[in-house]
Amino acid sequence: MGYPAVRLSRMRRTPHLRASLRETHVIPSRLFLPVFLDPTVSRPTPITSMPGHFRYPVHAATDLVRRAEKARLGGLLLFGRPSVKRVDGVGARDPKGVVPTFLRKHAGNTSLTLVADVCLCAYTTSGHCGVGKSGKIESAATLAALSRAAAAYAEAGADWVAPSAMADGQVAAIRKELDDRSRDEVAIMSYGLKSSSALYDPFREAEDSAPATGDRKSYQMDYSNAREGLRELEFDAEEGADVLMVKPGLTQLDLLWRARQRFSHPLAIYHVSGEYAQVKAAAEKGWLEESRVVPEIFTAFFRAGADLVFSYYALEAVEQGWI
């Protein structure tokens, strides 16, 4: 039976009808806000390419935590920087580093899930995500460094650690390190399908983490390869990842959908810095309305299968009443 007996528009006629029949909902508790912590600044310092975001010293981040709690966000994703970069990125595992310091201050005192990103790019003089020379990543040294960093965050109170270096075997190495230290309660969210993307550039300004030479294409995914991306997720799942992430977001909705068909794990997607900056810049030009665009983007993520969305818009969207 078709038109005119069936008219689907009948069920879209009023705001009440549309709200009652909405299939996909954006819920604040499933939104996570990335936060940049910087021991070299004394007050919140604006990030030029990410308007509305700042590098925070630990003592100045408390207000942001309280705002996120009031908005009932799911959690915070913590990124840190060292006071001094080193070849081996040793600052990433410093128990007195900015991320462990933040965790010791807030863990157990907040309703937010605290997630510590585990990578070396902001901590190494090379700007690469692993330890190595001449742009070549040394696997054993990298896995050891990532594992020790994850352990430092876990011991400081992180709820989850989130390896993002795309190093083969990183999930298994971190799981073993945590379990050996009796931190088996700490979950691992793996950036399992993280493609090499031009959309990360504002983040690299925020973290001062651009590679000094070369690029990251030898260890980050080729965004052309869907089947290989699913294999990356499979390996991380087999190694013990509790949550699997797809990154970037908008350009890989198809991969998120494929992952949803294959895995029963909670799936996260990262609405990355370049995607945020695009919308923010267009809104500042008056070319589009954030209040309409951001809910549409978030809905697309959840509709495609995400359980969690990591976005620089997470807090603003809730505080402004866009969702």
Span 244-301, pLDDT tens digits: 999 999 999 999 999 999 999 999 999 999 999 999 999 999 999 999 999 999 999 9
Q: What's the pLDDT score for residue 308?
A: 98
Catalytic status, residue 194? yes
- Tell me, yes or no, whether 219 lies in a domain: no
Of 105, 136, 176, 247, catalytic: 247
- 1 inside domain: no
Query: Residue 101: inside a domain, yes or no?
Result: yes
**Using CA atoms, how far apart are residues 250 and 243, in angstroms rounded to an integer?**
19
Residue 70 is a catalytic residue: no
What's the confidence (pLDDT) of residue 212? Answer: 84
* 252 assigned to some structural domain: yes
Residue 136's domain spans which residues?
24-213+225-319
**Res 133 pLDDT > 80:** no
Label residue 48 by pLDDT band (50, 70, 90). Answer: very high
Residue 295 lies in a domain: yes
Catalytic residue selected from 105, 133, 176, 194:
194
pLDDT at 83 over 80: yes
Instruction: Tell me the pTM.
Output: 0.96
pLDDT, tens digit (0-9, with 9 covering 90-100), for 91-105: 999 999 999 999 999
The rounded distance, in Å, linking the Cα atoms of 12 and 35 is 39
Region at 119 (left for phi over 0; alpha for psi -120 to 50; beta for the rest): beta
Is 18 within a domain? no
Structural domain tally of the chain? 1
Q: What is the CATH number of the domain that holds 193?
A: 3.20.20.70
pLDDT at 211: 87
Among 75-79, 123-127, 280-284, the least confident range:
123-127
Q: Give the residue ranges of DSSP H helices in the chain.
A: 15-20, 62-70, 98-106, 139-156, 170-180, 201-207, 226-239, 253-262, 273-284, 290-303, 314-319
* Look-up of token digits 């818009």: 313
**82 located within any domain:** yes
Establish if 3 belongs to a structural domain.
no
